[in-house]
Amino acid sequence: MDKLVCVKDFEEAAFRILDNNALQYYKSGADDELTLSDNKDAFKRWMIRPRMLRDVSKRNISTTVLGKPVAFPLGVSPTAMQRLAHPDGECANVRAAASMGTIYILSTISTSSLEEVAAAAPNGRKWFQLYVYKDRDLTASLVKRAEKCGFEALVFTVDAPYFGRRRANLRDGFALPPHLRLANFPKGSENSEALGKDRHSAFAFHDALLDQALTWEDVHWLRKLTKLPIIVKGILLPEDAETAIQYGATGVMVSNHGARQLDTVAATIDALPGIVERVAGRCEVYLDGGVSTGNDVYKALALGAKMVFAGRALLWGLAVGGEQGARKILQIYRDEFDLTMALTGTPNVDSLTRDCVRKYGMTSHL
Ligand SMILES: Cc1cc2nc3c(=O)[nH]c(=O)nc-3n(C[C@H](O)[C@H](O)[C@H](O)COP(=O)(O)O)c2cc1C
Ligand SMILES: CCCCCCC(=O)C(=O)O
């Protein structure tokens, strides 16, 4: 691992290590994967405007999120089935995040249960990503378990009433290996074993459980069910951010689900400024999608994100080196971001403002 010095190095190593079933599931985007590449390319369309001679000998890259501290402003997005990458899966990932002082978001569709993940990092900051099912008793029981286990927020994913068309999975199918299960569901009731038996039905099977009739009223339903903060994940338009606030969301996450749902939607960094403008400080705004370097973290914060998250990068870290690999990924983001702060004359995150970046082509001068 010593020779792997950036997220891209880990990605290339993980591509050599993972079996085809896991790799195609993890890496795929929807349809022609145009948004998948644009999520990354869009960051390159923003330049950084560095300021000189500003005493950067002492820097503070910590911040607060939902009123509590994080050591640096990058956390772990929820990604399903992390034991496909490493036998310790979610437990390794949450330990890595906790040891680095940042937030871990557990997917509903995890291969380690809420209870196992809580026990793996009792003192780490943990949020729970929620899919809302037709079976509301099942959904409510997930929420209650998250509360009991000390998860401090719910991340309500709103961009996946059905799963997108990930072509590699349609061609080759996807199988949850028989030694793994969807650990948050009682054995039998969710019938997770069926996922492994019929290679072509895994996504259709889960689609059938999801509630496609969800509306904004369901944010109210959740609001009544729990006192936990609710972060609405999957927002791409200012008007939806506005509605999320009206319905009681504590935060919004600008996300296109890692470009796995609807192709040709906006790259998240392009969607961010309009949403930040509309929200106007009424709630925290987070972002994920294509965040690959410390420079990307810097740009998203300059454009108004309170914190950013990465999904696949942590899967690459897990695949390469389990907990240690996931930790190294977080260290890379932290160290790159810290250096960007130093080289731009930005001693702390509060000094990051819109002036710190400019979009190429917007003006003839910097
Ligand atoms: C393999 C994989 C599984 C995912 N599973 C979930 C999930 O269970 N719930 C969810 O809300 N988002 C899920 N996502 C989306 C991520 O939370 C996140 O939005 C996305 O990965 C961010 O993009 P990035 O991978 O470029 O960092 C998944 C993404 C990937 C790549
Ligand atoms: C086989 C179950 C489907 C899980 C899908 C999780 C997810 O959100 C994703 O993007 O993949």
Which atom of ligand 1 is least distant from the CA of 257?
A: 19
What range defines the domain where residue 109 resides?
A: 7-359
148 within domain boundaries:
yes
> What pLDDT shows up at residue 364?
59
Tell me the pLDDT tens digit for each residue of 29-76: 999 999 999 999 999 999 999 999 999 999 999 999 999 999 999 999
Share of the chain above pLDDT 70, in %: 95
Which residue's CA is the closest to the ligand 2 atom numbered 3? 203
Test site for ligand 1: of 37, 90, 105, 107, most ligand atoms within 8 A of the Cβ: 107
365 within domain boundaries:
no
Residue of 179, 220, 257, 365 marked catalytic: 257
366 within domain boundaries:
no
Strands 63-65 and 68-70: antiparallel
Tell me the pLDDT tens digit for each residue of 331-340: 999 999 999 9
149 token code pair: 């286990």
Task: Using alpha carbons only, give the angle 89, 94, 99 rounded to the nearest 5 degrees.
Answer: 130
Residue 257 annotated to the active site: yes
User: Cα–Cα distance between 242 and 252 in angstroms, integer?
Assistant: 10
Within 6 Å (CB) of ligand 2, which residues are found?
A: 80, 109, 160, 163, 195, 202-203, 206, 257, 260
User: Cα–Cα distance between 180 and 330 in angstroms, integer?
Assistant: 26
297 within domain boundaries:
yes
Look at the chain and report how many structural domains it folds into. 1
39 within domain boundaries:
yes
193 within domain boundaries:
yes
364 within domain boundaries:
no
> What pLDDT shows up at residue 108?
97
CA–centroid distance, 189 to ligand 1, in Å, is 25
225 within domain boundaries:
yes
Asked whether residue 192 carries a pLDDT value surpassing 70, the answer given is: no
Asked whether residue 150 carries a pLDDT value surpassing 50, the answer given is: yes
Q: Where residue 220 sits, what CATH number does that domain have?
A: 3.20.20.70
Which atom of ligand 2 is least distant from the CA of 160?
A: 8
Within 6 Å (CB) of ligand 1, which residues are found?
A: 25-26, 39, 77-80, 107, 109, 129, 157, 233, 255, 257-258, 260, 288-291, 310-312
CA–centroid distance, 82 to ligand 1, in Å, is 11
> What pLDDT shows up at residue 190?
46
> Cβ distance 63 to 57 under 8 Å?
no
Is residue 255 a known part of a binding site?
Answer: yes
- pTM greater than 0.95: yes
